[in-house]
Amino acid sequence: MSAALVWIIIGVVLIITELMATSIVAVFLGIGAIVTGLALQAGIIESTSAQYLVFGIVSLTMLLTARGKMKRWFHGFTADRGEHGTVFTKDLGERVTVHADFQQGAGRVILNGVQWDARSDEDLKKGDVAYVVKNEGIHLTVSSRKPITES
């Protein structure tokens, strides 16, 4: 197997690993490896030191110039630490309808038209009305008694 093919394979593998890592670094190393392999195949470079030099320069240049732009494409919403409290507390005290009987403290409720997994110390039955007393992300804690909200 020629050195050019090895560089190209390494480049493709690095780009594929970027799909799993999403740090937007491996893709630039992959591009550097592919460019090095193509330059080697075309006879533009030959020595091992030239291969490493081309790989380093291309990878570093791409990383420094394009990473910021590409990262914006993949940037999703991230909540600040303070935002979680608001998201998790906004449903407290909201009325829910029991969708599935609670067995061993676990059941399903409907809040704003969406089914949620819920927990309760009470024996709630399908059709009962309950209130959200705690939101733990994907699980609600509910009670048949409406909580006292602070004003």
115, part of any domain: yes
CA contacts within 13 A on the Cβ side of 43: 0
79, part of any domain: no
CA dihedral sign of residues 136, 89, 101, 116: negative
Query: What percentage of the chain reaches a pLDDT higher than 90?
Result: 39
Same domain, 51 and 18: yes
117, part of any domain: yes
pLDDT (tens digit per residue) in 19-63: 776 667 888 889 999 999 999 999 999 999 999 999 999 999 988
Q: In whole angstroms, what is the distance from residue 82 CA to residue 71 CA?
A: 24
Same domain, 20 and 69: yes
Helix H or strand E encompassing 39: helix 26-41
Q: In whole angstroms, what is the distance from residue 139 CA to residue 50 CA?
A: 57
Which of 20, 48, 74 corresponds to the end of one domain?
74
Say how many domains are in the chain: 2
112, part of any domain: yes
Confidence of residue 85 (pLDDT cuts 50, 70, 90): very low
Q: How many residues does the chain have?
A: 151
pLDDT (tens digit per residue) in 65-75: 887 776 665 55
Same domain, 9 and 69: yes
The yes-or-no verdict on residue 83 having pLDDT over 50 is: no
| CATH code assigned at 133 | 2.40.50.140
Residue with tokens 């409720």: 109
Same domain, 58 and 113: no
Q: Return the top range by mean pLDDT from 66-70, 84-88, 135-139.
A: 135-139
Same domain, 59 and 113: no
Same domain, 13 and 68: yes
What pLDDT shows up at residue 84? 46
CA contacts within 13 A on the Cβ side of 30: 14
Same domain, 28 and 66: yes
148, part of any domain: no
Query: Can you give the residue range of the structural domain that contains 28?
Result: 3-74
Report how far Cα 118 is from the mean position of its chain's Cα atoms: 24
Max CA distance (Å), the chain = 79
Same domain, 14 and 70: yes
149, part of any domain: no
Which of 17, 44, 74 corresponds to the end of one domain?
74
- Three-state secondary-structure class, residue 90: coil
